[in-house]
Chain A
Amino acid sequence: MITIRLKCFSQVKYALGENEIIFELENGVFTEDLEKIVRKKAKGKLDDVTLSTAVNKKYISKNTELKDGDEVAFIPPVQGG
C-alpha cells in the first residue's frame, strides 16, 4: 500500500468539500487512476471540468506511477477574470 496526499484546488475543492485528502492506495497506481477515483468521489460535480495534474508541486503531462508519500494536485482551468 502507498499513501498519497491529494491537495484540492478550485472546483476540486468545492466538489469534494476538502482542502486535502489522504488516500491509501494499492502499489502500482497511476495518476489517471487517482483522477478516476477523485471524479467518482465528486459524484458528477467534475464531469464538465478538465483537470491537469501536478505531482510533488511539478506539472506532469503523462500518466505517471505514484510512489508512497507523493502529493498530487488536479488543477482545473479556472475561467474567472
Chain B
Amino acid sequence: MIITPEKLKKWLDNDKNFTLLDTRPKNQIKQYPIKELKCIFGPPDSIDQIKGDKVLVCQFGIVTEGMILENDLQNSYSLLGGVQAWNEFIKDKNDLSRWSRQTILEEIGIDGQKKIMKARVAIVGMGGLGCPAATSLVAAGIGTLNIIDGDTVDLSNLHRQHLYQPEDIGKEKVSVAKRSLENISSQTKINPFNNFLNQSNAKSCFEDIDIIIDATDNIVSRQIIDKVSKDKNLPMVYGSLYKFEGQVGVFNTESKIGYAELFPGNISGGKTCEEAGVIGMLPSIIGNMQALEAIKLILNLEPNLIGKLLIYDGLQHTTEVIEL
C-alpha cells in the first residue's frame, strides 16, 4: 500500500497512531534529512516486529514499495515519492508524489516537474496524434493545454483516437477530449477551441503559449502553424502519418528551419489518412514522440529533435533521422 504526503500530513494532524520508519542508510539520512517528520531508523529486518500501522520512508518511494511487497509486510504503507516528495510538500504545500516516477529521473527532478506544471502547450488537431499527445502531457502534469479542433467524433476515429467512446459519436471533439483529459488529471488547465485553425483565429489560439504541437491532417494547417510559429517565435513540434509510417520533428527554434523550408512552394502530399489509411497503433507512437519532444523543450533536454526529422517505420521498426 502507498500513502501520499498529503494523506500522511492528515494522519499527523489527526494524531493517528502509527509508526514512521526511515529505511534509508544512515549516510543518506544525514545527506538528505527529512523535514518536520520524526522517524525511527528502521532497517528492513526489524520492521515486521513493530505492531500497528507503519509508514515506510525511503528517498524516492520505490525501495519501500518493493520492501512491502517482497516481505509481505502487513499494515505497512510506502510514502509515495519518498523524502523527495515529502520535503517538497512541506516546503510549498505542493504534493508532487503523483509524478514521483518521473521526478526520480535526474533529468527532471522536482525543479523539472515544476517547469512542466508551468508550461503552456497548444495542440492543433485532436485526432490520431492529438489524443495521445494530450493524454501524455496531461498525465505528465502540464500546466495549460489549448486543444484546437472544429471536428466532431466519428465512428472511424475510434480505432486510434482513444479519448473518445462510441457514445461520443457526433459530439464536438474538444468538449469530449476536455472531459476525458480532466478525468486523467484536474491539475492541467484545458482550454478547448471548437474551431479549425485558420489565418484569422491562429493568434488567439496561441496566445500565452510556449510550444505548438502540430497534430493536424493537412498541409494548409501545417503551413499556418509554421507561419505563426515563426511570427511568435514558438517551437513547432511537427508530426504526421502515412499508413505504417510517421514523421516527427521540432521546427523553427534555435535558428533551425521550419516546415516551409523543408517543403517549400506549392506542395502536394497525395493521400490523407482517410484516403491512405493508418494502422491504429501508429498515432499513439508518433503522438507520444511529439509529447516527449515538448517535454524536452520545456526542460531544455538534449539530445532532441530540434532541426531534425525522424521517420519511423512501424512495419520494419526502423528509424531514420535526417538533419535539417
Check if B239 is an interface residue, CB within 8 A of chain A: yes
Instruction: Please give the distance in Å from B252's CB to the nearest CB on chain A.
Output: 15
Known: A14-B243, A58-B322. A80 touches B276 (CB 8 A): yes
What is the number of residues of chain A that contact chain B, defined by CB distance less than 8 Å? Answer: 25
What is the number of residues of chain B that contact chain A, defined by CB distance less than 8 Å? Answer: 45
B323 adjacent to A80 (CB under 8 Å):
no
Instruction: Please give the distance in Å from A72's CB to the nearest CB on chain B.
Output: 11
Residue of B nearest to A15 (CB): B270
A9 adjacent to B268 (CB under 8 Å):
no
Known: A19-B316, A75-B322. A80 touches B217 (CB 8 A): yes
Instruction: Please give the distance in Å from B73's CB to the nearest CB on chain A.
Output: 49
Instruction: Please give the distance in Å from A26's CB to the nearest CB on chain B.
Output: 26
**Complex contacts, B324 vs chain A, CB 8 Å:** 59
**Complex contacts, A57 vs chain B, CB 8 Å:** 320-323
**Complex contacts, B125 vs chain A, CB 8 Å:** 81
B218 adjacent to A79 (CB under 8 Å):
yes
Instruction: Please give the distance in Å from B140's CB to the nearest CB on chain A.
Output: 21
B216-241 near A? 1/0 per residue, CB < 8 Å: 11110010000000000000000111
**Complex contacts, B216 vs chain A, CB 8 Å:** 81
Instruction: Please give the distance in Å from B217's CB to the nearest CB on chain A.
Output: 4
**Complex contacts, A19 vs chain B, CB 8 Å:** 313, 316
Instruction: Please give the distance in Å from A76's CB to the nearest CB on chain B.
Output: 6
B268 adjacent to A78 (CB under 8 Å):
no
Check if A3 is an interface residue, CB within 8 A of chain B: no
7 inter-chain pairs at a CB distance below 8 angstroms, sorted by A residue, are A11-B269, A50-B265, A75-B247, A77-B263, A78-B245, A78-B246, A81-B240
A interface, CB within 8 angstroms of B = 7, 9-11, 13-14, 19, 46, 48-50, 52, 54, 57-59, 61, 73, 75-81
**Top 3 A-B residue pairs of the complex, sorted by shortest distance between their CB atoms:** A80-B273, A80-B241, A81-B217
